[in-house]
Protein backbone atom coordinates (compact mmCIF):
# COMPACT_ATOMS: atom_id res chain seq x y z
CA UNK A 1 0.00 0.00 0.00
CA UNK A 2 1.46 3.36 -0.96
CA UNK A 3 0.62 6.03 1.58
CA UNK A 4 -1.03 9.12 0.16
CA UNK A 5 -1.12 12.40 2.00
CA UNK A 6 1.61 11.59 4.51
CA UNK A 7 4.58 12.78 2.53
CA UNK A 8 4.96 16.20 4.05
CA UNK A 9 5.90 18.85 1.55
CA UNK A 10 8.01 17.17 -1.12
CA UNK A 11 10.77 19.39 -2.47
CA UNK A 12 10.20 20.68 -6.00
CA UNK A 13 13.43 19.05 -7.15
CA UNK A 14 13.51 15.45 -5.97
CA UNK A 15 17.10 15.09 -7.09
CA UNK A 16 19.45 15.30 -10.06
CA UNK A 17 22.36 13.23 -11.28
CA UNK A 18 24.81 14.58 -13.85
CA UNK A 19 26.72 12.02 -15.85
CA UNK A 20 30.42 12.05 -16.59
CA UNK A 21 29.76 12.35 -20.32
CA UNK A 22 27.59 14.56 -22.52
CA UNK A 23 24.10 13.34 -23.35
CA UNK A 24 20.40 14.10 -23.08
CA UNK A 25 18.72 15.91 -20.20
CA UNK A 26 15.90 13.70 -18.95
CA UNK A 27 13.16 15.32 -16.86
CA UNK A 28 11.03 12.98 -14.72
CA UNK A 29 7.85 14.35 -13.19
CA UNK A 30 5.90 12.48 -10.54
CA UNK A 31 2.78 13.49 -8.66
CA UNK A 32 1.42 16.00 -11.17
CA UNK A 33 -1.82 14.63 -9.73
CA UNK A 34 -1.57 14.69 -5.95
CA UNK A 35 -3.15 11.29 -5.36
CA UNK A 36 -0.49 9.67 -7.56
CA UNK A 37 2.69 9.60 -5.44
CA UNK A 38 4.05 6.35 -6.96
CA UNK A 39 6.00 8.22 -9.63
CA UNK A 40 7.84 10.28 -7.02
CA UNK A 41 8.81 7.18 -5.07
CA UNK A 42 10.10 5.59 -8.26
CA UNK A 43 12.05 8.67 -9.35
CA UNK A 44 13.80 8.85 -5.99
CA UNK A 45 14.62 5.15 -6.13
CA UNK A 46 16.18 5.41 -9.59
CA UNK A 47 18.17 8.53 -8.70
CA UNK A 48 19.61 6.76 -5.65
CA UNK A 49 20.72 3.88 -7.89
CA UNK A 50 22.08 6.25 -10.53
CA UNK A 51 24.32 8.31 -8.22
CA UNK A 52 27.01 5.64 -7.81
CA UNK A 53 26.78 5.00 -11.57
CA UNK A 54 27.25 8.61 -12.68
CA UNK A 55 30.48 7.62 -14.42
CA UNK A 56 28.39 5.48 -16.79
CA UNK A 57 25.68 8.07 -17.39
CA UNK A 58 25.57 10.29 -20.46
CA UNK A 59 23.76 13.56 -19.83
CA UNK A 60 21.65 14.43 -16.83
CA UNK A 61 18.57 13.12 -15.05
CA UNK A 62 16.40 15.51 -13.03
CA UNK A 63 13.22 14.63 -11.15
CA UNK A 64 10.53 17.10 -10.12
CA UNK A 65 7.54 16.70 -7.85
CA UNK A 66 4.24 17.82 -9.32
CA UNK A 67 1.34 19.14 -7.27
CA UNK A 68 3.09 19.41 -3.88
CA UNK A 69 0.12 20.78 -1.95
CA UNK A 70 -2.25 18.17 -3.37
CA UNK A 71 0.32 15.46 -2.62
CA UNK A 72 0.34 16.57 1.01
CA UNK A 73 -3.44 16.18 1.10
CA UNK A 74 -3.56 13.00 -0.99
CA UNK A 75 -6.00 14.53 -3.50
CA UNK A 76 -5.84 14.80 -7.28
CA UNK A 77 -5.84 18.60 -7.04
CA UNK A 78 -6.90 21.36 -4.67
CA UNK A 79 -8.61 23.85 -6.98
CA UNK A 80 -7.84 22.69 -10.52
CA UNK A 81 -6.00 19.99 -12.47
CA UNK A 82 -2.26 20.81 -12.66
CA UNK A 83 -2.01 18.85 -15.93
CA UNK A 84 -4.14 21.42 -17.74
CA UNK A 85 -3.53 25.02 -18.80
CA UNK A 86 -0.03 24.46 -20.17
CA UNK A 87 -0.17 27.01 -22.98
CA UNK A 88 1.70 30.24 -23.52
CA UNK A 89 -1.01 32.81 -22.64
CA UNK A 90 -1.79 31.12 -19.34
CA UNK A 91 1.88 30.69 -18.45
CA UNK A 92 2.52 34.35 -19.24
CA UNK A 93 -0.41 35.31 -17.00
CA UNK A 94 0.96 33.21 -14.16
CA UNK A 95 4.46 34.63 -14.56
CA UNK A 96 3.18 38.19 -14.31
CA UNK A 97 0.54 37.77 -11.59
CA UNK A 98 1.12 38.79 -7.97
CA UNK A 99 1.35 35.86 -5.54
CA UNK A 100 -1.95 36.68 -3.82
CA UNK A 101 -3.82 36.39 -7.12
CA UNK A 102 -2.65 32.82 -7.73
CA UNK A 103 -4.54 29.67 -6.79
CA UNK A 104 -2.61 26.79 -5.25
CA UNK A 105 -2.27 25.10 -8.63
CA UNK A 106 -1.31 28.42 -10.25
CA UNK A 107 1.59 28.61 -7.79
CA UNK A 108 2.56 25.00 -8.39
CA UNK A 109 2.47 25.49 -12.16
CA UNK A 110 4.49 28.72 -12.05
CA UNK A 111 7.17 27.07 -9.94
CA UNK A 112 7.38 23.90 -12.03
CA UNK A 113 7.36 25.90 -15.25
CA UNK A 114 10.21 28.06 -13.91
CA UNK A 115 12.23 24.98 -12.99
CA UNK A 116 11.78 23.57 -16.50
CA UNK A 117 12.75 26.88 -18.12
CA UNK A 118 15.96 26.84 -16.07
CA UNK A 119 16.78 23.42 -17.55
CA UNK A 120 15.94 24.70 -21.05
CA UNK A 121 18.70 27.29 -20.67
CA UNK A 122 21.21 24.46 -20.12
CA UNK A 123 19.88 22.05 -22.75
CA UNK A 124 17.88 23.16 -25.76
CA UNK A 125 16.02 19.88 -25.99
CA UNK A 126 14.68 17.97 -23.02
CA UNK A 127 13.30 14.45 -22.73
CA UNK A 128 10.24 14.20 -20.47
CA UNK A 129 8.84 11.19 -18.67
CA UNK A 130 5.65 12.13 -16.82
CA UNK A 131 4.64 9.40 -14.35
CA UNK A 132 0.99 8.80 -13.51
CA UNK A 133 -1.34 6.19 -11.98
CA UNK A 134 -5.07 5.59 -12.38
CA UNK A 135 -8.02 5.24 -10.01
CA UNK A 136 -8.97 1.85 -11.45
CA UNK A 137 -6.82 -1.18 -12.19
CA UNK A 138 -5.26 -1.27 -15.63
CA UNK A 139 -2.44 -2.70 -17.65
CA UNK A 140 0.26 -0.04 -17.96
CA UNK A 141 0.17 2.19 -21.01
CA UNK A 142 1.93 5.15 -22.53
CA UNK A 143 0.49 8.24 -24.23
CA UNK A 144 2.09 11.22 -25.92
CA UNK A 145 1.79 13.94 -28.52
CA UNK A 146 2.04 11.93 -31.70
CA UNK A 147 5.40 12.68 -33.29
CA UNK A 148 7.78 10.09 -34.77
CA UNK A 149 10.32 10.66 -31.98
CA UNK A 150 7.72 10.29 -29.26
CA UNK A 151 6.45 7.10 -30.90
CA UNK A 152 9.98 5.69 -30.81
CA UNK A 153 10.26 6.52 -27.11
CA UNK A 154 6.84 5.06 -26.38
CA UNK A 155 7.56 1.81 -28.19
CA UNK A 156 10.79 1.37 -26.20
CA UNK A 157 8.68 0.74 -23.10
CA UNK A 158 6.91 -2.27 -24.70
CA UNK A 159 3.55 -1.48 -23.07
CA UNK A 160 0.16 -0.61 -24.55
CA UNK A 161 0.34 2.56 -26.63
CA UNK A 162 -2.61 4.99 -26.55
CA UNK A 163 -2.76 7.43 -29.46
CA UNK A 164 -4.78 10.62 -29.44
CA UNK A 165 -5.22 11.07 -25.67
CA UNK A 166 -3.23 14.30 -25.66
CA UNK A 167 -5.63 15.78 -28.22
CA UNK A 168 -8.67 15.15 -26.05
CA UNK A 169 -7.48 17.01 -22.95
CA UNK A 170 -6.76 20.69 -22.77
CA UNK A 171 -3.09 21.73 -22.81
CA UNK A 172 -1.29 19.11 -20.73
CA UNK A 173 2.29 19.49 -19.52
CA UNK A 174 3.59 17.19 -22.25
CA UNK A 175 1.60 18.80 -25.06
CA UNK A 176 3.24 22.08 -24.03
CA UNK A 177 6.66 20.41 -23.95
CA UNK A 178 6.10 18.89 -27.37
CA UNK A 179 5.01 22.24 -28.80
CA UNK A 180 8.30 23.70 -27.55
CA UNK A 181 10.25 21.05 -29.46
CA UNK A 182 10.97 18.70 -26.58
CA UNK A 183 10.22 14.99 -26.61
CA UNK A 184 8.50 12.93 -23.97
CA UNK A 185 5.79 10.51 -22.99
CA UNK A 186 3.35 10.05 -20.13
CA UNK A 187 3.42 6.66 -18.50
CA UNK A 188 0.42 5.24 -16.64
CA UNK A 189 1.68 2.49 -14.34
CA UNK A 190 -1.56 1.05 -12.91
CA UNK A 191 -3.78 1.74 -9.95
CA UNK A 192 -2.74 4.43 -7.44
CA UNK A 193 -2.17 2.10 -4.49
CA UNK A 194 -0.83 -0.90 -6.41
CA UNK A 195 2.75 -1.59 -5.22
CA UNK A 196 3.38 -2.91 -8.73
CA UNK A 197 2.85 0.64 -10.03
CA UNK A 198 6.10 1.80 -8.41
CA UNK A 199 7.94 -1.20 -9.91
CA UNK A 200 6.56 -0.38 -13.35
CA UNK A 201 7.49 3.31 -12.98
CA UNK A 202 11.01 2.32 -11.99
CA UNK A 203 11.20 0.02 -15.00
CA UNK A 204 9.90 2.72 -17.34
CA UNK A 205 12.55 5.19 -16.16
CA UNK A 206 15.41 2.75 -16.70
CA UNK A 207 14.16 1.62 -20.12
CA UNK A 208 13.68 5.23 -21.23
CA UNK A 209 17.24 6.09 -20.14
CA UNK A 210 18.47 3.27 -22.35
CA UNK A 211 16.18 4.29 -25.24
CA UNK A 212 17.55 7.85 -25.32
CA UNK A 213 21.17 6.72 -25.06
CA UNK A 214 21.79 7.95 -21.53
CA UNK A 215 22.78 4.46 -20.34
CA UNK A 216 23.78 1.16 -21.87
CA UNK A 217 21.31 -1.61 -21.10
CA UNK A 218 24.20 -3.59 -19.62
CA UNK A 219 24.69 -0.83 -17.01
CA UNK A 220 21.09 -0.87 -15.75
CA UNK A 221 20.94 -2.68 -12.41
CA UNK A 222 18.90 -5.85 -12.78
CA UNK A 223 17.75 -4.82 -16.25
CA UNK A 224 15.82 -8.05 -16.84
CA UNK A 225 13.53 -7.33 -13.87
CA UNK A 226 12.58 -3.94 -15.34
CA UNK A 227 11.81 -5.46 -18.72
CA UNK A 228 9.73 -8.11 -16.94
CA UNK A 229 7.87 -5.49 -14.86
CA UNK A 230 6.57 -3.88 -18.06
CA UNK A 231 6.02 -7.01 -20.13
CA UNK A 232 2.40 -7.95 -20.91
CA UNK A 233 0.99 -10.94 -19.05
CA UNK A 234 1.72 -14.32 -20.61
CA UNK A 235 -0.28 -14.86 -23.77
CA UNK A 236 -0.94 -11.17 -24.30
CA UNK A 237 0.73 -8.60 -26.51
CA UNK A 238 1.10 -4.85 -26.25
CA UNK A 239 -1.74 -3.05 -28.05
CA UNK A 240 -1.69 0.14 -30.08
CA UNK A 241 -5.04 1.87 -29.63
CA UNK A 242 -6.53 5.23 -30.47
CA UNK A 243 -8.98 7.28 -28.43
CA UNK A 244 -12.46 7.25 -29.95
CA UNK A 245 -14.49 8.85 -27.18
CA UNK A 246 -13.97 10.85 -23.99
CA UNK A 247 -16.82 11.17 -21.51
CA UNK A 248 -16.56 14.58 -19.86
CA UNK A 249 -17.91 14.93 -16.31
CA UNK A 250 -19.21 18.20 -14.89
CA UNK A 251 -18.81 18.88 -11.16
CA UNK A 252 -22.56 18.53 -10.49
CA UNK A 253 -23.11 15.42 -12.63
CA UNK A 254 -23.12 12.95 -9.70
CA UNK A 255 -21.05 10.72 -11.96
CA UNK A 256 -20.82 7.14 -10.71
CA UNK A 257 -18.87 4.57 -12.72
CA UNK A 258 -20.27 1.03 -12.79
CA UNK A 259 -17.98 -1.00 -10.53
CA UNK A 260 -15.51 -3.57 -11.73
CA UNK A 261 -14.08 -2.21 -14.98
CA UNK A 262 -10.41 -2.84 -15.67
CA UNK A 263 -8.48 -0.83 -18.22
CA UNK A 264 -8.74 -2.25 -21.76
CA UNK A 265 -11.89 -4.28 -20.93
CA UNK A 266 -14.00 -4.82 -24.09
CA UNK A 267 -17.19 -2.71 -24.14
CA UNK A 268 -20.13 -3.11 -26.52
CA UNK A 269 -22.04 -0.26 -28.10
CA UNK A 270 -24.84 0.92 -25.81
CA UNK A 271 -23.45 -0.80 -22.72
CA UNK A 272 -24.28 1.03 -19.48
CA UNK A 273 -20.88 1.96 -18.05
CA UNK A 274 -21.85 4.66 -15.51
CA UNK A 275 -24.76 6.61 -14.08
CA UNK A 276 -25.17 10.30 -13.50
CA UNK A 277 -28.01 12.63 -12.54
CA UNK A 278 -29.56 12.21 -16.01
CA UNK A 279 -29.61 8.43 -15.76
CA UNK A 280 -27.54 5.66 -17.35
CA UNK A 281 -24.40 6.61 -19.26
CA UNK A 282 -23.98 4.30 -22.25
CA UNK A 283 -20.94 3.62 -24.41
CA UNK A 284 -21.63 5.41 -27.72
CA UNK A 285 -19.76 2.73 -29.65
CA UNK A 286 -17.88 -0.52 -29.15
CA UNK A 287 -14.33 -0.32 -27.94
CA UNK A 288 -12.04 -0.88 -24.99
CA UNK A 289 -12.47 0.87 -21.64
CA UNK A 290 -9.68 3.24 -20.67
CA UNK A 291 -9.27 5.05 -17.35
CA UNK A 292 -12.73 4.53 -15.80
CA UNK A 293 -13.02 7.16 -13.06
CA UNK A 294 -13.23 5.56 -9.62
CA UNK A 295 -12.34 8.73 -7.72
CA UNK A 296 -14.33 11.82 -6.84
CA UNK A 297 -12.29 14.36 -8.75
CA UNK A 298 -11.52 14.95 -12.41
CA UNK A 299 -13.47 15.79 -15.52
CA UNK A 300 -12.55 12.60 -17.39
CA UNK A 301 -15.25 10.02 -16.69
CA UNK A 302 -13.83 7.36 -19.01
CA UNK A 303 -12.35 6.95 -22.46
CA UNK A 304 -13.17 4.45 -25.16
CA UNK A 305 -10.28 3.33 -27.31
CA UNK A 306 -10.02 0.97 -30.24
CA UNK A 307 -7.10 -1.00 -31.57
CA UNK A 308 -5.48 0.68 -34.54
CA UNK A 309 -5.91 -1.32 -37.72
CA UNK A 310 -2.63 -1.52 -39.60
CA UNK A 311 -4.13 -2.98 -42.78
CA UNK A 312 -7.27 -1.62 -44.45
CA UNK A 313 -10.32 -3.73 -43.67
CA UNK A 314 -12.66 -4.83 -46.43
CA UNK A 315 -15.84 -2.76 -46.47
CA UNK A 316 -18.43 -4.01 -44.00
CA UNK A 317 -15.85 -5.87 -41.92
CA UNK A 318 -16.00 -3.35 -39.05
CA UNK A 319 -16.80 -5.18 -35.83
CA UNK A 320 -16.48 -4.85 -32.13
CA UNK A 321 -13.20 -6.04 -30.64
CA UNK A 322 -13.47 -9.57 -29.32
Contacts with Zn ion by CB under 5 A lie at 33, 36, 132
Least spacing, CB of residue 129 vs Zn ion, in Å: 13
Least spacing, CB of residue 36 vs Zn ion, in Å: 5
**Nearest-CA neighbor of 9 among 49, 40, 51, 42?**
40
Helix 148-156, helix 195-211: angle, nearest 10: 130
Least spacing, CB of residue 274 vs Zn ion, in Å: 19
Strand order in the sheet with 279-282: 256-257, 272-276, 279-282
C-beta closer to Zn ion: residue 158 or 191:
191
With a CB cutoff of 8 Å and minimum separation 6, the contacts of 102 are: 94, 110
C-beta closer to Zn ion: residue 57 or 77:
77
C-beta closer to Zn ion: residue 138 or 210:
138
Least spacing, CB of residue 131 vs Zn ion, in Å: 8
Query: How many C-alpha atoms does 127 have within 13 Å on its Cβ side?
Result: 21
Q: What is the CA angle 290-294-299, rounded to 5?
A: 75
C-beta closer to Zn ion: residue 60 or 247:
247
C-beta closer to Zn ion: residue 26 or 173:
173
145 touches 174 (CB < 8 A):
yes
Least spacing, CB of residue 180 vs Zn ion, in Å: 21
144 touches 166 (CB < 8 A):
yes
CB neighbours of residue 150 within 10 Å = 22
C-beta closer to Zn ion: residue 192 or 199:
192
**Nearest-CA neighbor of 227 among 219, 237, 235, 217?**
217
Least spacing, CB of residue 149 vs Zn ion, in Å: 23
C-beta closer to Zn ion: residue 41 or 132:
132
C-beta closer to Zn ion: residue 223 or 299:
299
| Residue with smallest beta-carbon separation from Zn ion | 132
CA distance 92 to 181: 18
Least spacing, CB of residue 150 vs Zn ion, in Å: 18
**Nearest-CA neighbor of 11 among 38, 36, 31?**
31
CA distance 285 to 287: 6
Least spacing, CB of residue 232 vs Zn ion, in Å: 22
206 touches 220 (CB < 8 A):
yes
Amino acid sequence: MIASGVLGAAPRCLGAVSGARAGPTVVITGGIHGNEPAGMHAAREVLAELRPRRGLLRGKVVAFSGNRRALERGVRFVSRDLNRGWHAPELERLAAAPEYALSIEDQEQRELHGAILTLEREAARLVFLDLHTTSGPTEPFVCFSDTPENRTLACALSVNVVLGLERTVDASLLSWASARGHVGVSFEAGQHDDPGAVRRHVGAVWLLLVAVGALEAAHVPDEASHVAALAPDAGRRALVVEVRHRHVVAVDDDFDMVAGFVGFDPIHAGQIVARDRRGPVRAPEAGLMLMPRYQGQGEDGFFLVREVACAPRPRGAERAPA
